[in-house]
Structure 1
Amino acid sequence: MSDSAPNKAFYDRANQFINVANEHNQDPEIKTGEISASFMYSLSRYNAWFGSTGFESAEQMQQKKADMMEYYVEEYRKMLEGNMDDYIANFDQYRKTQK
């Protein structure tokens, strides 16, 4: 993610992905954990592809793999921590709207 604050389009795209996950969540035969796992897999697959676009060869990508891994894991950790803090601070409000 860039150093600037996310704009409305950023959140609109994120909400579109969340809406797809929520649609799958309506199927009683699919467990929520399975949806989360599919979501994480798809993001990791996309990021691996995206990361590859900056290189001319697999060898170049291999040389930068640790840096890319560190970046993606750190960014995810920050976003997850922020969202968990938000849910903790607004737990009753968010959970009430989901029932």
Structure 2
Amino acid sequence: MSTEENLFDDEFVEATNKLIEIANEMGAKHGEHKMGVAFIYAAARFNAYIAASSVTSADELSGKRDKAVEYFTDRFRKLYDGNLMDYIANFEEYMGVAQSEQSETAH
């Protein structure tokens, strides 16, 4: 679980976009909030599997639990904050505010 790994290559972006595409489809069907929580749960479940697959016993996993929780929660916090900052910087573009304002003034 090295924090030095470079994950943001083309393969990473492709996988991320596919996961977001699936979340958007499911969000349209079941609601965005529910899918947001489902996405977090799925990430937590999958990453618990990643942590478990890196050891050979439950005792070893238990011994590494605190470090794994710290790693994944820190990673989530940094990625989430970075994405929120991106949305703040690009709010009008991402959320279509400029387009909807133009539409309102055109009528």
The residue that corresponds to 1:46 in the other structure is 46
Match of 1:24 in 2: 26
Give % identity. 28
Please name the residue that 1:11 is paired with.
Answer: 13
Write the deviation string for residues 20-55 of structure 1: whole angstroms up to 9, x where unpaired.
01111222xx22110011111111000001100111
Tell me how far apart the structure 2 counterparts of residues 55 and 9 of structure 1 sit (CA, whole Å): 26
Which stretches in structure 1 are left out of the alignment for 5+ residues? none
Q: How has the CA–CA distance of structure 1 residues 59 and 5 changed in structure 2, closer, same or farther, with 3 Å as cutoff?
A: closer
Q: List, as ranges, runs of 4+ consecutive aligned residues in structure 1 with deviation greater than 4 Å.
A: none
Paired letter, 1:20: I
| Aligned residue-pair number | 96
RMSD of Structure 2 on Structure 1 (CA): 1.7
- 3-state SS in 1 of match to 2:96: helix
Quick check: 1:73 aligned with 2:62?
A: no
Q: Give the drift of 1:87.
A: 0.3
Partner AA of 1:19 in structure 2: E
Listed as ranges, the gaps of 5+ residues in structure 2 are 101-107
Higher Cα radius of gyration: 2
- 1:36 equivalent to 2:33? Answer no
**Other-structure match for 1:86:** 86
Alignment of 1:48-63 (within 5 A): 48-63=48-63
Deviation at 1:5, TM superposition (A): 5.6
**TM-score with structure 1 setting the length:** 0.90
1:2, CA displacement in angstroms? 4.7
Larger RCO, structures 1/2 (Cα 8 Å, 6+ apart): 1
TM-score by length of 2: 0.83
- Between structures 1 and 2, the one with greater helix share: 2
Greater mean deviation of Cα atoms: 3-12 or 63-72: 3-12
